[in-house]
Amino acid sequence: MTSKVIYNGDIRTTATHLQSGTVIVTDGPTDNHGKGEAFSPTDLVATALASCALSLMGIYAKNHDLNVDGTTAEVTKIMHPAPRKIAKVVVNITIPDYNFSEKDKGILEKVALSCPVSLSLHQDLVQEFTFNWL
Protein backbone atom coordinates (compact mmCIF):
# COMPACT_ATOMS: atom_id res chain seq x y z
CA MET A 1 0.00 0.00 0.00
CA THR A 2 1.31 3.46 -0.92
CA SER A 3 -0.85 5.82 1.09
CA LYS A 4 -3.91 6.20 3.23
CA VAL A 5 -6.36 9.04 2.56
CA ILE A 6 -8.99 10.20 5.03
CA TYR A 7 -11.92 12.46 4.13
CA ASN A 8 -12.10 15.06 6.89
CA GLY A 9 -15.35 16.68 5.77
CA ASP A 10 -15.85 20.12 4.25
CA ILE A 11 -14.11 19.07 0.98
CA ARG A 12 -10.79 18.38 2.75
CA THR A 13 -8.64 15.23 2.87
CA THR A 14 -5.50 14.17 4.67
CA ALA A 15 -3.21 11.78 2.81
CA THR A 16 -0.38 9.96 4.59
CA HIS A 17 2.51 8.41 2.67
CA LEU A 18 2.96 5.13 4.52
CA GLN A 19 6.69 4.63 3.95
CA SER A 20 7.77 8.09 5.14
CA GLY A 21 4.83 9.31 7.19
CA THR A 22 4.68 12.52 5.14
CA VAL A 23 1.24 14.13 5.23
CA ILE A 24 -0.48 16.13 2.50
CA VAL A 25 -3.71 18.01 3.13
CA THR A 26 -5.95 18.79 0.16
CA ASP A 27 -8.80 21.25 -0.02
CA GLY A 28 -11.35 21.84 -2.70
CA PRO A 29 -10.76 24.93 -4.83
CA THR A 30 -12.92 27.96 -4.19
CA ASP A 31 -14.62 27.56 -7.57
CA ASN A 32 -15.74 24.04 -6.61
CA HIS A 33 -17.16 24.22 -3.07
CA GLY A 34 -13.83 24.33 -1.25
CA LYS A 35 -11.95 26.91 0.75
CA GLY A 36 -8.78 26.87 -1.37
CA GLU A 37 -6.62 26.65 1.76
CA ALA A 38 -4.38 23.85 0.41
CA PHE A 39 -3.51 22.10 -2.83
CA SER A 40 -6.58 20.65 -4.52
CA PRO A 41 -6.31 17.11 -5.89
CA THR A 42 -6.04 18.51 -9.43
CA ASP A 43 -3.34 20.96 -8.25
CA LEU A 44 -1.40 17.92 -7.05
CA VAL A 45 -1.72 16.23 -10.45
CA ALA A 46 -0.36 19.32 -12.22
CA THR A 47 2.37 19.76 -9.62
CA ALA A 48 3.28 16.06 -9.82
CA LEU A 49 3.89 16.51 -13.55
CA ALA A 50 6.48 19.22 -12.87
CA SER A 51 8.03 17.36 -9.92
CA CYS A 52 8.38 14.22 -12.02
CA ALA A 53 9.99 16.11 -14.92
CA LEU A 54 12.51 17.77 -12.59
CA SER A 55 13.22 14.47 -10.85
CA LEU A 56 13.99 12.73 -14.15
CA MET A 57 16.25 15.62 -15.14
CA GLY A 58 18.00 15.19 -11.78
CA ILE A 59 18.49 11.46 -12.32
CA TYR A 60 19.96 12.05 -15.77
CA ALA A 61 22.20 14.84 -14.46
CA LYS A 62 23.45 12.71 -11.56
CA ASN A 63 24.27 9.80 -13.88
CA HIS A 64 26.14 12.06 -16.33
CA ASP A 65 28.08 14.29 -13.92
CA LEU A 66 25.87 17.31 -14.61
CA ASN A 67 24.27 19.71 -12.15
CA VAL A 68 20.65 20.86 -12.33
CA ASP A 69 20.43 22.01 -8.70
CA GLY A 70 18.29 25.12 -8.39
CA THR A 71 16.18 24.31 -11.44
CA THR A 72 12.63 25.57 -10.93
CA ALA A 73 9.25 24.84 -12.46
CA GLU A 74 6.29 27.21 -12.46
CA VAL A 75 3.03 25.34 -12.97
CA THR A 76 -0.31 26.63 -14.28
CA LYS A 77 -3.32 24.33 -14.30
CA ILE A 78 -6.26 25.16 -16.55
CA MET A 79 -9.56 23.42 -15.91
CA HIS A 80 -12.21 22.43 -18.44
CA PRO A 81 -15.67 23.41 -17.14
CA ALA A 82 -17.80 20.47 -18.30
CA PRO A 83 -17.01 17.78 -17.66
CA ARG A 84 -14.83 19.22 -14.92
CA LYS A 85 -11.29 17.98 -15.58
CA ILE A 86 -7.81 19.32 -16.16
CA ALA A 87 -7.66 20.63 -19.73
CA LYS A 88 -4.09 21.92 -19.80
CA VAL A 89 -0.98 22.06 -17.65
CA VAL A 90 1.65 24.66 -18.47
CA VAL A 91 5.11 23.95 -17.01
CA ASN A 92 7.74 26.66 -17.31
CA ILE A 93 11.14 25.20 -16.34
CA THR A 94 14.12 27.46 -15.66
CA ILE A 95 17.57 25.89 -15.50
CA PRO A 96 20.58 27.77 -14.05
CA ASP A 97 23.59 28.35 -16.28
CA TYR A 98 25.92 25.40 -15.76
CA ASN A 99 27.40 25.62 -19.28
CA PHE A 100 25.40 22.73 -20.70
CA SER A 101 26.22 21.59 -24.21
CA GLU A 102 23.42 21.76 -26.77
CA LYS A 103 23.38 17.96 -26.73
CA ASP A 104 22.88 17.84 -22.93
CA LYS A 105 20.15 20.48 -23.13
CA GLY A 106 18.30 18.43 -25.72
CA ILE A 107 18.61 15.22 -23.76
CA LEU A 108 17.50 16.88 -20.49
CA GLU A 109 14.43 18.30 -22.22
CA LYS A 110 13.60 14.92 -23.77
CA VAL A 111 14.04 13.19 -20.41
CA ALA A 112 11.73 15.70 -18.70
CA LEU A 113 9.03 15.22 -21.33
CA SER A 114 9.12 11.45 -20.92
CA CYS A 115 8.58 11.29 -17.16
CA PRO A 116 6.17 8.62 -15.87
CA VAL A 117 3.53 11.14 -14.78
CA SER A 118 3.50 12.69 -18.25
CA LEU A 119 3.14 9.29 -19.85
CA SER A 120 0.35 8.32 -17.44
CA LEU A 121 -1.91 11.31 -18.08
CA HIS A 122 -4.74 11.12 -20.61
CA GLN A 123 -3.73 12.07 -24.14
CA ASP A 124 -6.46 14.76 -24.25
CA LEU A 125 -4.72 16.68 -21.46
CA VAL A 126 -2.49 19.31 -23.07
CA GLN A 127 0.99 19.39 -21.54
CA GLU A 128 2.85 22.55 -22.51
CA PHE A 129 6.50 22.68 -21.45
CA THR A 130 8.88 25.62 -21.86
CA PHE A 131 12.59 25.32 -21.04
CA ASN A 132 14.50 28.47 -20.15
CA TRP A 133 18.27 27.98 -20.14
CA LEU A 134 19.87 30.87 -18.25
- pLDDT score for 13: 98
- Residues 46-102: pLDDT tens digits? 999 999 999 999 999 999 999 999 999 999 999 999 999 999 999 999 999 999 999
- Would you kindly state where each structural domain of the chain is located, as residue ranges? 3-32, 41-133
Stated pTM of the model:
0.95
- Residues 2-28: pLDDT tens digits? 999 999 999 999 999 999 999 999 999
- pLDDT score for 27: 97
DSSP letters of the chain?
Answer: --EEEEEEETTEEEEEETTT--EEEEE--GGGTS--SS--HHHHHHHHHHHHHHHHHHHHHHHTT---TT-EEEEEEEEETTTTEEEEEEEEEEE------HHHHHHHHHHHHT-HHHHHS-TTSEEEEEEEE-
- pLDDT score for 128: 98
How does residue 126 score in pLDDT terms, banded at 50, 70 and 90?
Answer: very high
Average model confidence (pLDDT) across the chain = 97
- pLDDT score for 28: 95
What does CATH list as the number for 41-133? 3.30.300.20
